[in-house]
Copies of this chain bind each other. A is one copy, B any other.
């Protein structure tokens, strides 16, 4: 059963009070290259640099006052930790962020800068989960999952709602697929706010768990994580998978080289800084051009937190 529209309406109120309404960019030269009319929703310009701010805000706002008083906890090597720290600060809630010891120092500094309380652990998933569980036990903080949480998904949906408010005539909206929280939210937005928009995911061949999950009908995982799109290595969860099964038309897989070409094109033509993961949907459009021919295509550019000294091109 698909969650009702009222959840997204409530999320819009929360998110639009604290997050940026991000701009939508276009480029004639990219339209020519792709053979369709593209609009890009720039969540790389979102606060803390990624759409994850939206989901974190909505998840924290939906806690009870008693839960809020005890704080929130998550484990993250990247954007979600920053998003929870900043969203919690905005909402006056304590945030405990477990980070693996190999997380970039700049990301740890960002979390601390937002007032998050950082706990460093070994870089295994087990160590991260153990550290978060210990904090939950000690403080009573509520655990927040980056993608498999309905309130996170409703928050994420607001990016596509804004895009559809600006461009109601989109034939299709694409997002990258990692843990599934963004594409599930986008699919709900298209379902309730779109007039005719289908939703398509982009996923690297190297971590094509979501593609395989849609084929098999059960949540598949990845045995390797060998992709430049470091935000897309995770797999779907029981909260977002049913939404994706019901409302997502298709997942298009792309090669690593295609991701890098697409990323460089977006930097060059849109003049923006985006993460490799963020280039995957545009790579999918370029790979299957005939599918999008002359259509009006919206792409959610998910984030821009990238180490400028370690670019893949």
Contact = CB atoms under 8 A, between A and B. Distances in A.
Interface stretch (A73-81, A196-204, A271-279): A271-279
A265 to B, nearest CB: 10
A308 B311 contact: yes
Contacts of A309: 313
Contacts of A308: 264, 267-268, 311, 313
Interface in A28-45: 28-29, 42, 44-45
A41 to B, nearest CB: 13
A268 to B, nearest CB: 6
Contacts of A304: 271
Interface string A111-155: 001000000000000000000000000000000000000000000
A270 B47 CA distance: 10
Q: How many copies does the complex hold?
A: 2
B271 A271 contact: no
B268 A271 contact: no
Nearest to A305: B271
Nearest to A113: B29
A282 B264 CA distance: 26
A64 to B, nearest CB: 29
A215 interface: no
A23 interface: yes
Contacts of A264: 308
Interface in A72-96: none
B44 A271 contact: yes
Interface in A253-312: 264, 267-268, 270-274, 304, 308-309, 311
A100 interface: no
Given A23-B23, A308-B313, A309-B313, A267 B273 contact: yes
A119 B119 CA distance: 62
Contacts of A28: 47
Given A308-B311, A311-B308, A313-B308, A272 B271 contact: yes
Interface of A: 23, 25, 28-29, 42, 44-45, 47, 49, 113, 264, 267-268, 270-274, 304, 308-309, 311, 313
